Amino acid sequence: MRHTYRLFVASGLLAAAAVLVGLVPSQVAGQSITIGPYIQNPSTTSMTVQYITDASGDGTVKYGAGKALDQQVKATLHEQVASGGACIYIARLTGLKPGTEYQYQVLPVGSSAGASTVRKFRTFPEKADAVTFIAYGDTRTNAAAHAKVTANFNKYNPAFILHVGDIVEKGGTYSLWPAFFKAVADSVDHVPMMFAIGNHEGGAANLLRMFDMPGGRTYFSFDYGPVHVVVLDSYQQGAAVLQWLDQDLAASKAPWKVAMYHEPSFNFGGHHSKSARQTFLPLFVKYGVDVVFTGHSHLYERFKPLVADAAAGRVITFITTGGGGAPLAGSVQNAVLAKTASTYEYCAVAADATTFRIEAFESSGKPLDALTITKKDGKYDKAYLDQAIPMDEAVKATSSGGGGKAAP
């Protein structure tokens, strides 16, 4: 387990003082779960269960395959928040079977009345022919709009959810987090959500306090069936990260490679971002990354497929999916864009070994955009390539202040 950080906004001395005056309760009977449980850091043989309580005192997570709850593990205090007494607990379930459904229940300290209902999760399989997942983000401000977006998720039965960052308005202010968890409560108890760090997280420490990130850091990768996903940190683009990214992508044999980070490399509406063009992007081209999901600008934008290396057949689709609940940005029309819209939205992705299908929907469920990419023997189909334009055209179009007419 990672080191236990003390507090979001207080020093260690303030934390100690808070305990003395009763602001942070010591271990008590009748401890109640205030947030969660939610699952994190999935693999083929392990899963993390996290939850938040109103008082300290290590609890228990019971779990088992099928209908049994015949195993248990101690849940330990990961973080204690001075302002309000919230306690973040973590339990790592290991030795699990790949591709298997498990039941679990959280038993906090105190009476059995405080126990969570029995929930389920499924470990990642060792092999899978197909996968479905969600990509969305920038959820930080409008909790009601966010809840309307997430109400759509379960119908896809996603294996995981990608969040492009800016989870709440200020990551270091604990009182903003309950609204986020309320909006995702019906998903994150059984579907792991993976996060890219955004600028509103206020630094990695705030993100790592709330979530058990793979490797305990803000960049990592994982595989599910035919898809390799690499999650990157827009604010860490130095030599060590690039070396890791080079080695990670070089080692992947997955038919599809997906990257996610917060600030877009290509973007019109909102921030007009050009992040990572000299760092991540050359490695995406070198190793054939297919699709990039970003956020930061609060709208939906899909660029036409961008040809980065015609001789090698390297084509990348860039999508900004930042309509999760933050104040919407105005969209901009430009010839290099396939679709843009200023609306609350999300992306649903379904992939197998030869087909990668992206569908974007408004929070109402109304279809917004769709793209199907197919590959055979590593080569894209003609229909996809016919939509493609040279990457230089997108670079040129986004080099000025907006490059187009504002959409109504």
pLDDT of residue 401: 52
Percent of the residues in the chain that have a pLDDT greater than 70, as a whole number: 89
Angle at which helix 143-150 crosses helix 177-188, to 10 degrees, equals 10
Chain-centre distance of CA 251, in angstroms? 23
* Tens-place pLDDT, residues 48-71: 999 999 988 889 999 999 888 999
* Tens-place pLDDT, residues 270-303: 999 999 999 999 999 999 999 999 999 999 999 9
pLDDT of residue 30: 61
Q: What is the CATH number of domain 12-122?
A: 2.60.40.10
144: left (phi over 0), alpha (psi -120 to 50) or beta: alpha
User: Could you check whether 12-122 and 130-406 share the same CATH topology?
Assistant: no
CB atoms within 10 A of CB 136: 30
Which of the four pLDDT bands, split at 50, 70 and 90, describes residue 81? confident
CA-CA distance, 22 to 197, in Å (whole number)? 33
pLDDT of residue 200: 98
Whether the model pTM is above 0.95: no
CA-CA distance, 56 to 79, in Å (whole number)? 10
Any residues with CB less than 8 A from the CB of 396 and at least 6 apart, and which?
none
* Tens-place pLDDT, residues 206-263: 999 999 999 999 999 999 999 999 999 999 999 999 999 999 999 999 999 999 999 9
For 218-246, letters b (16+ CB in 10 Å) and e give bbbbbbbbbbbbbbbbbbbbeeebeebbe
* Tens-place pLDDT, residues 39-48: 999 999 999 9
**pLDDT > 90? residue 10:** no
CA-CA distance, 212 to 223, in Å (whole number)? 18
**pLDDT > 80? residue 148:** yes
Find, among 210, 126, 226, the residue nearest to 171 by Cα. 210
- The answer to whether residues 19 and 26 touch, using CB atoms and an 8 Å cutoff, is yes
At 91 the three-state DSSP class reads strand
pLDDT of residue 5: 34
**pLDDT > 80? residue 407:** no
More confident residue, 205 or 6: 205
Assigned token pair, 366: 């109304």
Assigned token pair, 255: 């038919």
**pLDDT > 90? residue 112:** no
375: left (phi over 0), alpha (psi -120 to 50) or beta: beta
Between vectors from CA 340 to CA 334 and to CA 346, what angle results, nearest 5°?
155
- Domain boundaries along the sequence of the chain: 12-122, 130-406
At 5 the three-state DSSP class reads strand
Assigned token pair, 193: 């959500």
pLDDT, mean of residues 17-30: 35
At 307 the three-state DSSP class reads strand
Question: What kind of fold does domain 130-406 have according to CATH?
Answer: Purple Acid Phosphatase; chain A, domain 2 (3.60.21)
**pLDDT > 70? residue 7:** no
Chain-centre distance of CA 261, in angstroms? 9
Query: In Å, what is the CA distance from 85 to each residue of 74, 110, 167, 375?
Result: 21, 17, 22, 53
